[in-house]
Amino acid sequence: MCYTATQVTKANKLQEVYVAKLSPSLSQEYTSQFYKASGFDHPKLLILLQKENEKLIDLYQWGLMPTWNKPLVEMLKQSNRTLNARSEDIRTTSSFRGAIKNQRCIIPVNSFFEYKHIFNDKGKKIDTLPFLIHPKKQPFFNLAGLYSFYNDPATNLWHKTFTIVTEPANTFMAGIHNSAKRMPLMLSDSLVDDWINPDSPASLIDDIMQFACDDSTLEAYRVVRELKTVPNDESVLKPIEDGE
């Protein structure tokens, strides 16, 4: 699954690449950079969506909270279970079946992290190694996602949230994420507009969710074992040798 990602490309650069506007609530000078954004910490990441026939870049909180009339404390627990959305059952899962219809987005990430399990000859897990996966040629991935809005009934405050769509792993990713054998839905540039268009027919969206990123476009290397505790800075991106 995709629970930890890197987003260091700045808002104004994404605005240029996607030919999009920045949300009025997002400062032109927004420069926050995440070298290891953990979904379980619910960080606010930049996403791309379409609104009123324009592409828009805005900050949304990771962990989708549906438009349910429940207390915030319950919805925050719910968001720990909605960091990812499985493409296979996205239209029938209560948390996602509303958003998949017309609230689709792109999460531009420079890389993401997954863990490889090492087994002995008896099939017992003996080690877990974190890897960083990044695109070979372009600066970031177009991760397919869904977004939603939750209104806290106690405060009347709105929360803008998102989830990352996942699919069965391709050969490259199955060799790394060899336990669950899944990966985020990584879209080519040519599919971005159709994915975020709220008017795209369901059949087209279902076809896009069959898209599997080509193995040849991906690269990966091992990173520090203490990934979860190292500082949120460039050091987390440093490759390490197998013996370290």
Task: Give the residue extent of every domain in the chain.
Answer: 4-237
Tell me which architecture the domain covering 4-237 has in CATH.
Alpha-Beta Complex (3.90)
Closest CA to 40 of 72, 1, 66: 1
On the question of pLDDT at 243 being above 70, the answer is no
pLDDT confidence band for 224 (50 / 70 / 90) = very high
On the question of pLDDT at 1 being above 90, the answer is no
Give this prediction's pTM: 0.95
Q: For 23, which DSSP code? A: P
On the question of pLDDT at 76 being above 90, the answer is yes
Helix, strand and coil in the chain, % to nearest 5: 20, 35, 40
Tell me which residue has tokens 């017992």. Answer: 124
Contact 14, 32 (CB under 8 A): no
User: Both tokens of residue 38?
Assistant: 């953990």
The partner residues of 7 in beta bridges, in order of sequence, read 34
Mean pLDDT of the chain: 93
Which uninterrupted H or E stretch holds 240?
Answer: none
Which uninterrupted H or E stretch holds 116?
Answer: strand 111-119
What confidence tens digit (pLDDT) does each residue in 193-209 have?
999 999 999 999 999 99
- CB neighbour class for 94 (10 Å; exposed up to 12, middle 13-18, buried from 19): exposed
